[in-house]
């Protein structure tokens, strides 16, 4: 079914509704209209990294971990698995007449906001700080969820439109001020790419952007989304964001005015209850029936595309047994393996193989399920923590486990009774695996929690909380061979002393239900780490721009002059890959085709993440230092030599003027090909250089 056919079906159904019935369908809890044979429908479903909040599902690595794979094809497969499980669960829900919240097929994912500030608590839900990486990952996930058949397998929704990335504590009244240049260079490209890819939903943000609420924004919604981009899907408010229009932003005086304004600007669906006031707005002539009908047709077009009104419901043959099936478990494990980023490996300390017989697994996240899940998660039938993974993989070693400290401190003395047990285990061990980090109880969406390094979901420093810092220093003092795993959704600095003493450091994000097994396999050497950082890591005491400042000046690898702790795109493996003989083999109107020779000079088979960066100048505007513009993951065996082809679309090599216009650079253009960003620190840490190609 094409969208025109679906819209015709929607128009036919909506034409039979009364005004009050149409209004009732514009709330996320859309009631049944029995006389028309229409069932109730709840639009609210989540799927940031698997079907969420609806009991059993495959729990994939959190979105920031999926971004760290730098593997769009893999994330497309994850999206396909998510929609298979969504349909399987939906089929059973319908069978048992359960049409409640989290039981439908409209998923409010992916979150494609730009993780411009590593302190933002919801950054874990995103694909990182780079517009290109966020775009290709977002598009891959959307296409995986929606499928390419006659009907949508499920409907994805790109959120939160737009210019939204903290702070959490003031999001209901905050005004994000942004220039046209930053808007079109950084904040909008991923949304534009998802719209071009056919995403069926766009969710508005809580905040204002340049003075207007994002769910009633003239420029963003009317001029850009609907007119310039020609968006054909439905627009939904973030939950209770319409109420913020009059309560938080004081942009209108009454809920009736807020509801009318949002509807007229193009918000078709209200997650919340403010649209209950649309009937009063209609009677007060703030809106007319055409406004209501237009919105109802949009939401019903999506329901038609999902096949809800067909006699033979599509995808009804997908069995419930597909939920967390062996195929999806294998995909989950593969994704977790590719998400882990090796930050330090002193003198090739890893992999461990079977060299050590006594392993201590220590830390508040050693046995934590929440540290596997992240937020916006489902419930896995099985979890493999780091401790359990090490037991399974290191079968000939004796593994002792200790907690060592609490996750955080509120009084300053929590967890002291745990330290001696951890030190006892570490002092007796040949090697200690120290599992630090966070979980969704302290890092995430708006919350009341306040403590050292945390404020209502956001972080105030990238240092780990003091109980964990003390544990790390103490463990490094009693064991010579310490490997540190950090499980959290944002950058982390272990401190200079611990960074120096640790033999190896791995950033593992929230790695999903099987994350502990993936990590153990990497430590053992069954798999080489291949993750790359999708966000820049800065030192914990670095003075960064205020989180309320939305200018891209001195932000991200593109514009920051601050020396990072670890750069965007960085990550080690167990082999070295040499890049050479990069040439442009073809140039057409849209793309460059690059051919690069690669050689694995080490002894391990690896999965490498080829990255293409552009550096260009333009006399009319400031340009980024570097800009990621191409990706090509590939497998390469030990000592193997091969040629890799990668396409670079010219639209990703654009200078953005102050008025937001994108232009082809009038200065020199260079492309860099390699396994990391072409900055001095990356080349120093990775000990190999990117290949430079002059385009003009």
Would you please indicate which residues are annotated as catalytic (active-site) residues?
238
Query: Is residue 545 packed enough to be buried (19+ CB in 10 Å), middle (13-18) or exposed (0-12)?
Result: middle
With a CB cutoff of 8 Å and minimum separation 6, the contacts of 405 are 363, 364, 415, 418, 419, 422, 467, 468, 470, 471
The single-letter DSSP state of residue 693 is: E
Q: What's the distance, CA 141 to chain centroid?
A: 10
Q: How far apart are CA 159 and CA 60, in angstroms?
A: 19
Which among 157, 146, 144 has a CA at the least distance from the CA of 307?
146
Question: Residue 162: phi, psi to the nearest 5?
Answer: -150, 175
Instruction: Name the residue among 433, 504, 497 with its Cα closest to residue 463.
Output: 497
Q: Which residue has the tokens 């909506």?
A: 14
DSSP code of residue 62:
P
CA–CA separation, 230 and 249 (whole Å): 28
Examine residue 351 and say whether the peptide bond preceding it is cis (omega within 30 degrees of 0).
Answer: yes
Q: Which helix (H) or strand (E) holds 605?
A: none
How many Å separate Cα 210 from the centre of its chain?
A: 25
Which one-letter DSSP state was computed for residue 190?
Answer: H
Under the phi-then-psi rule, with left for phi > 0, alpha for psi from -120 to 50, and beta for the rest, what region is 639?
left
Contact 440, 495 (CB under 8 A): no
Nearest to 147 by CA among 207, 76, 201, 215: 76
DSSP-derived secondary structure for 415-484: THHHHHHHHHHHHH-SEEEEEEE--TTTSSSS---EETTEETTEES-SBPPHHHHHHHHHHHHH-S-EEE
How far apart CA 475 and CA 532 sit, in angstroms, is 27
How far from chain centre, in Å, is Cα 278? 34
What is the distance between the alpha carbons of residues 365 and 483, in angstroms, rounded to a whole number? 14
| Distance, CA of 624 to CA of 202 (rounded, Å) | 28
Let me know if 544 is exposed, middle or buried by CB neighbors in 10 A (0-12, 13-18, 19+).
middle
Position of tokens 């918000």? 267
Strands (E), 133-255: 157-161, 175-176, 201-204, 208-209, 212-213, 234-236
109 φ, ψ to 5°? -160, 150
**Range 73-77 contact pairs with CB under 8 angstroms and sequence separation of 24 or more:** 73/140, 73/633, 74/334, 74/335, 74/338, 74/633, 75/137, 75/140, 75/141, 75/144, 75/335, 76/140, 76/141, 76/143, 76/144, 77/144, 77/331
Distance from CA of residue 348 to its chain's centroid? 31
DSSP sequence for 63-104: HHHHHHTT-HHHHHHHHHHHHHHHHHHHHHHHHTT---TT-S
Q: Residue 585, CB half-sphere, CA atoms under 13 Å: how many?
A: 12
């Amino acid at each position: 079914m094409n969208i025109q056919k679906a819209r015709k079906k929607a128009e036919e159904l909506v034409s039979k509704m009364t005004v009050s019935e149409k209004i009732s369908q514009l709330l996320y809890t859309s009631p049944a209209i029995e006389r028309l044979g229409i069932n109730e429908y709840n639009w609210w479903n989540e799927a940031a990294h698997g079907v969420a909040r609806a009991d059993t599902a495959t729990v994939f690595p959190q979105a920031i971990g999926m971004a760290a794979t730098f593997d769009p094809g893999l994330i497309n497969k994850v999206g396909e698995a998510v929609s298979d499980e969504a349909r399987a669960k939906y089929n059973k829900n319908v069978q048992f007449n359960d049409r409640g919240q989290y039981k439908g097929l409209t998923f409010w994912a992916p979150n494609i906001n730009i993780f411009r500030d590593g302190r933002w608590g919801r950054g874990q839900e995103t694909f990182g700080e780079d517009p290109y990486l966020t775009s290709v990952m977002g598009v891959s996930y959307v296409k995986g969820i929606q499928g390419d058949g006659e009907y949508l397998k499920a409907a994805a929704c790109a959120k939160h439109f737009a210019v939204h990335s903290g702070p959490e504590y003031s999001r209901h009244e905050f005004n994000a001020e942004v220039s046209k240049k930053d808007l079109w260079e950084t904040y909008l490209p991923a949304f534009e790419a998802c719209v071009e890819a056919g995403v069926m939903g766009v969710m508005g943000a809580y905040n204002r952007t340049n003075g207007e609420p994002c769910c009633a924004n003239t420029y963003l919604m009317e001029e850009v989304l609907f007119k310039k981009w020609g968006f054909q899907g439905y627009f939904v408010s973030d939950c209770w964001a319409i109420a913020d229009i009059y309560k938080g932003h004081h942009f209108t005086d009454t809920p009736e005015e807020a509801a009318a304004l949002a509807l007229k600007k193009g918000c078709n669906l209200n997650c919340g209850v403010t649209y209950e006031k649309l009937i009063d707005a209609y009677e007060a002539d703030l809106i007319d029936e055409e406004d209501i009908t237009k919105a109802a047709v949009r939401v019903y077009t999506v329901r038609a595309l999902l096949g809800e009104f067909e006699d033979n419901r599509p995808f009804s043959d997908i069995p419930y047994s597909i939920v967390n099936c062996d195929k999806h478990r294998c995909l989950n494990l593969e994704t977790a393996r590719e998400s882990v980023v090796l930050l330090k490996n002193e003198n090739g300390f890893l992999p461990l193989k079977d060299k050590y017989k006594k392993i201590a697994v220590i830390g508040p996240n050693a046995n934590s399920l929440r540290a596997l899940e992240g937020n916006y998660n489902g419930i896995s039938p099985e979890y493999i923590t780091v401790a359990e993974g090490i037991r399974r993989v290191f079968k000939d070693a004796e593994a002792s486990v200790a907690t060592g400290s609490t996750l955080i401190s509120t009084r300053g003395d929590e967890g002291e009774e745990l330290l001696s047990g951890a030190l006892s285990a570490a002092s007796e061990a040949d090697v200690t695996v120290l599992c630090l980090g966070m979980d969704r109880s302290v890092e995430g969406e708006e919350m009341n929690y306040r403590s050292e390094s945390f404020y209502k979901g956001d972080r105030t420093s990238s240092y780990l909380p003091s109980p964990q810092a003390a544990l790390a220093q103490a463990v490094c003092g009693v064991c010579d061979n310490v490997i540190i795993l950090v499980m959290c959704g944002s950058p982390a600095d272990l401190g200079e002393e611990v960074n120096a003493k640790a033999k190896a450091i791995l950033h593992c994000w929230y790695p999903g239900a099987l994350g502990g097994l993936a990590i153990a396999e990497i430590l053992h050497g069954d798999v080489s780490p291949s993750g790359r950082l999708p966000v820049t890591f800065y030192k914990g005491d670095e003075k960064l721009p205020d989180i309320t400042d939305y200018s891209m000046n001195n932000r991200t690898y593109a514009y920051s002059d601050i020396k990072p702790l670890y750069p965007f795109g960085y990550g080690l493996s167990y082999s070295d890959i040499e890049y050479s003989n990069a040439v442009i083999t073809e140039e057409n109107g849209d793309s460059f085709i690059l051919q690069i020779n690669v050689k694995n000079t080490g002894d391990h088979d690896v999965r490498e993440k080829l990255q293409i960066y552009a550096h260009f100048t333009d006399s009319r505007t400031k340009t980024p230092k570097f800009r990621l513009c191409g990706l090509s993951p590939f497998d390469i065996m030990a000592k193997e030599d091969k040629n890799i082809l990668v396409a670079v679309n010219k639209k990703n090599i654009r200078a953005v003027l102050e008025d937001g216009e994108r232009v082809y650079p009038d200065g020199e253009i260079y492309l860099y090909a390699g396994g990391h960003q072409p900055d001095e620190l990356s080349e120093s840490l990775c000990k190999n250089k990117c290949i430079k190609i002059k385009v003009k």
